Structure 1
Amino acid sequence: MFLPQSIKALQGSCVTIPCSFQVKEEYKTYLHSGCKAVWIDNSSSTLLDPTQETGDLTQQNCTTTFHGIGPQHNQKHFLRVECNNLLEYTFNEAGVNIQVLEIPSTPTLTPPSVSVSEGQSVSVQCSAPVPCLSLPPTLTWSPVLGDIQETLQEQPDKTYVKVSTLNFTASEPNTNLTCSAVHSRENGTHVLSSSAQITVDITYPSRNTRVTVSPSGPVTEHSNIILNCSSDANPAVQHYHWYKTDGGTHTLIGNSSVLNMKASRDTTAIFCVAQNELGTENSTVTHLHIHYPPGNTKMTVTPSGPVTEHSYIMLNCSSDANPSVFLWYKTDGGTHTLIGNSSVLNIKASRDTTAIFFPPQIVSSSNCSGDSVKISCVCETEGNPIPLIQWSFPQTSSNHFISSEPLSDKTLRSVLTVIKPQWRDPVTLVCHSNNSVGSDTQTFEIVHNSPEKQNGQEDVVTPLLIASTVILMVLVLVLLCMIRILIVRHNKSRLSSPETKQQSPEDQEKK
């Protein structure tokens, strides 16, 4: 005989018990259409009466559907075949255990877990038992990500399950799928089972990479800021890289998800790169708002030369500052009047608007000249109020002098003179010009003979001078000796001449 060992049934519903039996050959002739199947318990009490849905006993098919399942049916049952003849037999060797449930069993999901790469096809099955073939459950997916196919599948024990197959393409990260089963009672009411849930683990490369900055608003130069790089990735991000960008040049400045740095005007455009084992992604460029005070403020006037009254002139102010705020004033003695608040000021030339504040501007004719003995540097600046000038240069024992003179009420000229500079090549001298509205700087590069080179030259000149002196002295001595020899020869010549010889006594007597 064949029976499932157990079968679950919903209280108030029906149950179908698959069943088949065999009888000895000599008893088969006793099987007829009047035979009936009786289901009894261990005490031989009849608990279930077969209905018209009983299988064909003449074909040894005892499959039976029972209705009105209640708590009293929650036990083991055996089949007895009664044909009102010699064939009356109870199959005690096999029985079926009916388990009556108030709430249906939870559906089963197959496979129990899913891990796929983004873009791959996924197939997940939800199955629930069908206790009664005439009242199969309804299976519902949430969310519905793709196509659904439903089938009834026979199990090895001849019972049935309903299978709903969901086919979709993996796209959403960490998708939670839920399958629910709704069973019906014979009175028309419905019972919802517990839901089965599965998380579809979808792997994908880094994406949605972004940067957050703390503090989020503008910060002052040299203050501390914290930048955080985050990215959606599965598996998780393994490496982070930070870059500052200047045009087409990218410079690596960090290698962790968090970057601590000091605000700098040279580092205002930053992006991060997130990388997992499937790929990398760059964040968009984050522009930091760094505030720093004005510097290198300059003004230009168009036209640059004298203009006639009532003609138009344009003044342009530029400055290294963030934020940039430009204010234009005209001055009359100690009174300052605001006349503009943008970087460009367009005005009509007027005899009462001749004194305009503007930052220093060092004129292009400023220069340095000189040699190893003396260096002179001239720095000329224009501004209103008239600027001051300060010099920066190597501090040595060299004597230096600074003289300044105003060339006009807006122009100052300063001269730096250095006597015998004790510097090595090259030397940088800087002229700083500033007034109350700005500053300007001019750098001069000086190349001259270093003290070592001068000493080397003296070392060569001294031996040459000594040698020349010795040679000159030798020549003088030789000349003196020659003069002395000539004098001696001259004297000898005079003594030996006839006019100068004395007469002997004999000669005198002969006379």
Structure 2
Amino acid sequence: MILISICRAAFSCSISVRGLHKSISVQELGGWRNGSLGPGTYGQNWGVTYIPDSICVLKGSSVTMFCSYKYPTGDTVETVFWTKHEVGEPSDLSKDIDYKGKFHDLGDKQNNCTMKLINVTQTHSRRYRFRFITNKDRWIGQPGVTLSVTDLQVETPERVMEGDTVTLKCNTTCSLSNTSTFIWYKNGHVLTSKTMKNNELSLQSVSSEDRGSYMCAVQGHENLPSPAVTLNVVHAPEKTTVSVSPSGEIVEGSSVNLTCSSDANPPANYTWFKKNGTVTIGKEETYRINKISSEDSGEYQCKSSNQHGHQFSNSVSLNVFYPPRNTTVSVSPSGEIVEGSSVNLTCSSDANPPQINYTWYKESLTSPVGYGQRYIINNIQSSNSGLYYCEAQNKHGSQKTTANCLYNDEPPRGLSDDTTSHDPDTQDDPANQDDSASQDGELYANVSFSEPESSRRVSNIFDDDIYANM
């Protein structure tokens, strides 16, 4: 058996065995043509042109592959299709399930073989070739058009210190058109005041204000941005403040939360102080005072700190309100009280707010005998003898005085109470008083009389008890 190989330049090649002629494919001018090998020039007037032959597009976008083809005059085009297969018998791309709804043939059976792919993904990155068949022969355009599909990715430094200059890059896996213009977003808003060049964003002397979520996009494809990337700027605590909860008046016995907050990266640790930073009282973000009392009133301050520095908050003042307490009565003048003289009974109390209303009572009488901090008896008579007590009241409660009292053994003389008076400066209407926090017990001032010439007078005070024997 004799094997004869005949090759005509770079255009055709045939293999013959004596007595047998074999027909094979012929490659010429970038294409493959099938036909019988025999006399004549193969490849003339056959060809496919792709413009361009390499394309880079964004994931989710659409791409048009411009294409034209030619064939010998007199031939009639019977079949045209695009294929993605590199080896084996080419298959029709329009019948591929992965391209359903994505492939659009924009060509014809004349000379136009343009096609379009929509909403492309990375799986569409490959080489595509055009195939056509005439009534006499067939041709596939080589090497085809290469499609690369890329998404956008923002590149940022892993660690950024306050004061650094930072460059963010909008990266792709292939080269987009040289005319592509990049757009940058921070927290969903377009950046216009920063330095931008090509696919880079430059941030000069960064601060905590530059911290945020960044994205990039290509102009004209704003609907296809990159995934968001967070720029993490580390810095010392800033904007350290204290909030008080609940807001409004703080009443004794309630619970109060003091919360320290700051802008810090990494997050801050907190320290609480009372009296202008001289006494440490807590180490948590929230300092809680249960059953607050007047002793808790004062100035509070917190300090936020991390490894990059610290900052103190402004001081906040806690003013604890409480009802009257330690209510007492004093008698003036002290010592002997002589019939016909004047006597002042003064009621004192500790309360916050200090706007206290005072009401005076005499034992066995249902109605008050006076209002105001002082109760004055002018031209005192034996009929004024008895037990006297006061009630102190503010918006948060009230307290009555209480004591054990001594009476003079001498019988009182029957005089009226017309000689009594009270301090007009501190008078108040009892109808406006709040009884919600009154306390049991009463402190009495006992005033009793004997004959004016009698030298027997007694005045005693034991602990909180007040005795006035007249």
TM-score (norm 2): 0.45
Q: Which structure has greater helix proportion?
A: 1
TM-score (norm 1): 0.42
Tell me which structure has the larger Cα radius of gyration: 1
